[in-house]
């Protein structure tokens, strides 16, 4: 069965078009939430510069709260703040999936 970490990494890959073979999210080991945020912030920085519409679309599909996204955008370290929001939200989604898988 997939763990919370496996589901979270899979969701990150899905929403951010990350290649499983080349991305460090899929290497052996269990990265901490902070490590996942750091890795994801680099991709979000790229999207902020070149793919803003795709980033906004991903936020909508992940159901990241719009006020929190706008708050993060108002700071100089916006990529890091958005990555934190994303990881927190996808961990919530993973926990929900696991709960339904195990209890329904």
Instruction: Provide the number of structural domains found in the chain.
Output: 1
Whether pLDDT at 39 is above 60: yes
**Distance of alpha carbon 57 from its chain centroid, rounded?**
13
Q: What is the chain's mean pLDDT, rounded?
A: 88
Question: Running DSSP on this structure, what letter comes out for residue 30?
Answer: -
Confidence of residue 84 (pLDDT cuts 50, 70, 90): very high
Q: Give residue-wise pLDDT tens across range 8-19.
A: 888 998 898 876
- In degrees, rounded to 5, the angle at the alpha carbon of residue 91 between the alpha carbons of residues 72 and 4 is 155
The residue range of the domain holding 38 is 4-103
How many residues are there in the chain?
Answer: 104
């Amino acid at each position: 069965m997939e763990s919370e970490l496996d589901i979270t990494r899979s969701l990150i890959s899905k929403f951010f078009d990350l290649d499983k073979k080349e991305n460090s999210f899929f290497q052996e080991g269990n990265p901490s939430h902070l490590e996942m945020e750091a890795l994801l912030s680099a991709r979000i920085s790229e999207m902020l510069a070149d793919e803003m519409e795709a980033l906004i679309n991903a936020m909508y599909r992940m159901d990241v709260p719009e006020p929190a996204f706008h708050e993060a955008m108002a700071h100089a370290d916006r990529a890091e703040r958005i990555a934190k929001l994303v990881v927190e939200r996808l961990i919530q989604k993973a926990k929900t999936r696991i709960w339904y898988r195990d209890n329904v």
